[in-house]
């Protein structure tokens, strides 16, 4: 499963999430990842990052 890097637009926190390629991208900070008291308030954006593929 690929690892996707996200960034919260509200607090700037960056975090990684293991997701299937067919899973929809996250829209808000999930519980346990968000630094805000009331999680899920900040919109998140998936960032482009280098792959770690092996041949």
pLDDT of amino acid 53? 62
Q: Are the beta carbons of 30 and 39 closer than 8 angstroms? A: yes
Domain harbouring 39, CATH code: 2.20.28
16: three-class secondary structure by DSSP: strand
For 7, the domain range is: 1-49
Structural domain contains residue 55: no
pLDDT, tens digit only, all 55 positions of the chain: 788 999 988 888 899 988 998 999 999 887 777 776 776 677 899 997 766 666 6
What's the pLDDT score for residue 5? 93
What pLDDT score does 48 carry?
79
| 32 falls within a domain | yes
CA distance 9 to 11: 6
Q: Is 35 part of any domain?
A: yes
**What is the pTM (predicted TM-score) of this model?**
0.73
So what's the pLDDT on residue 20? 92
Asked whether residue 54 is domain-assigned, the answer is no
- Spatial distance between the Cα atoms of 26 and 29, rounded to a whole number of angstroms: 8
């Amino acid at each position: 499963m690929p690892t996707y890097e996200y960034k919260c637009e509200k607090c700037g926190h960056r975090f990684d999430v293991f997701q299937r390629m067919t899973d929809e991208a996250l829209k808000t900070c999930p519980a346990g990842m968000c630094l805000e008291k009331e999680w899920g308030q900040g919109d998140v954006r998936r960032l482009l990052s280098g792959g770690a593929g092996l041949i």
